[in-house]
Amino acid sequence: MYKQLIILLILLSMQAPAFPQASIHIEQSKQYHELGNKSIDEYDVLSGFELMDREAETRVAVLNKIVFGYHPYWGGSNYLNYQWDLLSDLCYFSYEVDPATGDPASIHDWHTSPAIDSALANDVRVHLCVTLFSGHATFFNNPAARETLTNNLIELVVQRGAHGVSLDFEAMPSSQGSHMLDYIAEFSNVFHDSIPEGILSIAMPAVDWSGIFDVFILDQHIDLFMIMGYDYYWNGSSQAGPVDPHYSMTSGYNYNVSRTVSWYQSEGMPLEKMLIGLPYYAREWPTASGTAPSSTTGNGDAYTWSYIRNNASGHYIPGNKHTEPNSFGPYYAYNNNGWYQCFVNDDHSFARKYKMVNYRGLAGIGIWALGYDNGYTDLWDIIAESFTQDVQITLQDTLYDSGGPVWNYYNNEDYSISIHGENNESIRLEFTSFDLEIGYDSLWVYDGYYPGGELLGGFTGSSLPPVLYSSDVMSIRFESDHNTTAGGWTALVESFLISVDEKPVLNAHMKVFPNPANKIVNVEFRLFGKESEYAVRMYDMHGKVMAEIPAPGGQSKMQLDVSGFPPGIYLVVLSRGQSILTQQKVVVLP
C-alpha cells in the first residue's frame, strides 16, 4: 500500500513533496560531521550562544507530562539556558555506530559533557542516543558487532549514572526490517536484565514508509516511543510546507501530525508510551510564489527557531507572516530577487499541538532540538502553560477529526480524545458539522474517560448530534473502517463553572441514579441525625435551584422529575440549611 502511494506521490510531484530521503537528524548529523571536531566555545560561536539572565525566574514547575529533549553534541553551552524544571528527559545525541564492529565511530564527549552533569544534578533523566543511519545489513548480520554495541551501550549508561538508551535507526531498507526487530528484542532483554529500571526508547518515523516498525512487536520491548513529528516537508520537497503540519495542507499529500498520532494509536501503540516530537527549527525554500501552497524552485534550508527570531527586523516581520489555513502552519513569505517561504512554529501552533497531546492522552512531547530556541523563553513558557500541575486545560476550543477543517478523515482509524475541565466544571459539546459513512464509521461520546465512562450517545451518518453535556471529563471515540471516508466532524467545546453558594460538610452518603437520566432521577441517602432542615436540591449549570424537596433524617429514598428539564449538567445536593453534606453531578438527556 505504501509503495503504491509513493509512486502516486511522485506522479503528483507538482502537488506534493516526495517522501523524505533524510531526516533532520541525519541532515544535521552530516552537516556537523563535515565541520570536524570543535570545542564548546567554537560551537557557541557557530550558534551565536548568549547566556540568559536567569535572576528574574521565580517559577517552580511540576511537570505532568514527559518533556523529552534531544541535546545534540554540537549544542555547546546551550544547556546553561535550559529550564530544568520544565525538562524531564535529556537525550544525548549521539553514539554513532560503526556498522562493521558495533564500536562507536564517536561518542562525542559522553564521558565529560557538562550538559549531562547538569541534567543529573537537576534530577532530569539522561538517555544515550545511538544512531545507525547506514550500513544496516553489515551491522544486523554481524552477531559480534551486535554484541559489542549492546555491551558498550550498557557500560556507558552505567558509567555515567544515566537512565536509558534511545535507539535512532533511520534510512532503513525494508529488507532489514525483521533483522532490526530481532536486534531490538535482543538488546532489550540484555539491557533490562542489566539495568532493571532502565528506559529503552526509540525514534519512530512520522510515516512508516517501508512498513518495518511493527508496533505490536516493539511494544513488548520499548518503554517510550518518540515519534518524529516533523520532516513531512523536507529540504528536497517539490512543494514548500510546514515541517509538522497539524492537518494536511493539500489533498494530494495526506500526511500530518494528527493522522500520525491516530495511525500509531490505531496500530496499538499505548498512549502512555507515546511522545510526539516537535521541531524547534524552521525550513525555508525558494518558491514559485508567495502564497502557500507553492512549488519549490530549489532545495530548502533548515534554521533554528532562534535564528528566525533574531532576524525579525529583516524578512521575518509581521507584515510577511501568514497562516496556511488548512494545516494551521505559520509561515513567512518574502520577495528577495524571487519568492521565499519559511515555515516556522509560533506560540499558537505549538500550543495547538500541546492541546492535542493533552486531549489525546499522550505521554508527552519530544524536542528536536534543545537549545534551538537559544536566548528566548517563549517555548519554555508554552510548556509551563500546557504541561504543569494546576494548569487548566480546556476553556474554549474547536475540535476536528484527523482530516482537519477541510479534508476527509481517514480509513482504519480508532482513537479517542478526552477533554478536561476543573473539578467544579462541566463540559459542553456542540457539533457544527457531521458527516460519517453511515453504518460503517461511527463516533461515540462519553461522560468521563473512555473506556469506563457513561455513554452519552453514538452517532453515524450525516444528522447533526444534539448538544451534549458531561461532568469535568468528556471523551470522544472515533472509528472508521477500511474503505470509504466522508467529510467528518467539527465541534465546539467549552468548560463552564457549576457554582453553588454553599460549603460542603462530609457527614452523609448519597447515591444518584440513573446517570445520565431523561425522566426520573432517583436519590438515595443516609443522614446521621433527625434535624428537620435537611433538603435535596437540584441546581442547573448556573447555580439556579431547579427543584427542592425536604429530606427526613435516617435512610431515605426519593425521586426528582426531570422530564421537563433542558438537557445538560445538573448538581444534586443534599444539604442542611446552607451547608452541603454531599453532592453529585448528573446528566439530563433530551
**For residue 500, how many other CB atoms are within 10 A of its CB?**
16
Q: By C-alpha distance, which of 422, 418, 298 is closest to 357?
A: 418
- Joined grid coordinates for residue 172: 532503513
Q: Which residues contact 179 (CB under 8 A, 6 or more apart)?
A: 136, 137, 140, 141
Q: Does an H or E element contain 194, and which?
A: helix 177-194
pLDDT one-digit tens code per residue, 319-347:
999 999 999 999 999 999 999 999 999 99
Q: By the 8 A CB rule, do 282 and 344 touch? A: yes
Rounded CA separation 154/168 (Å): 16
pLDDT per position in the chain (590 positions), as tens?
Answer: 333 333 333 333 334 444 556 899 999 999 999 999 999 999 999 999 989 876 545 556 789 999 999 999 999 999 999 999 999 999 999 999 999 999 999 999 999 999 999 999 999 999 999 999 999 999 999 999 999 999 999 999 999 999 999 999 999 999 999 999 999 999 999 999 999 999 999 999 999 998 999 999 999 999 999 999 999 999 999 999 999 999 999 998 999 999 999 999 989 999 999 999 999 999 999 999 999 999 999 999 999 999 999 998 889 999 999 999 999 999 999 999 999 999 999 999 999 999 999 999 999 999 999 999 998 999 999 999 999 976 655 568 899 999 999 999 999 999 999 988 777 778 889 999 999 999 999 999 999 999 999 899 999 999 999 988 888 899 999 999 999 999 999 999 988 766 555 444 555 678 888 888 888 999 988 766 555 568 888 887 667 788 888 877 666 788 899 988 888 778 888 887 767 778 888 888 87
According to DSSP, the β-strands at 125-132 and 104-106 are unpaired
d(CA 235, CA 246): 19
Domains observed in the chain: 2-49+63-279+346-387 (3.20.20.80), 396-497 (2.60.120.290), 503-588 (2.60.40.1930)
Per-residue pLDDT of 497-545, as tens digits, reads 665 554 445 556 788 888 888 889 999 887 665 555 688 888 876 677 8
**Rounded-to-integer distance, Cα 287 and Cα 439, Å:** 44
Strand partners, 435: 488
Instruction: Sort 432 into a burial class: Cβ within 10 Å, 0-12 / 13-18 / 19+.
Output: exposed
Backbone angles phi, psi at 545, to 5 degrees: -75, 115
Q: Tell me, what amino acid is at 560? A: L
- CA-nearest of 348, 356, 329, 171 to 244 is 329
Rounded Cα–Cα distance for residues 443 and 128 (Å): 42
Q: Length of the chain, please?
A: 590
The whole-model pTM stands at 0.85
DSSP 44: H
Strands 364-368 and 66-72: parallel
Can you read off the three cell numbers belonging to residue 53? 539572565
Q: Is 277 helix (H, G, I), strand (E, B) or coil?
A: strand
Contact by Cβ (8 Å): 471, 542: no
Q: Which amino acid is located at 340 in the chain? A: Y
Please state, in angstroms and rounded to a whole number, the distance separating the CA atoms of residues 451 and 472: 16
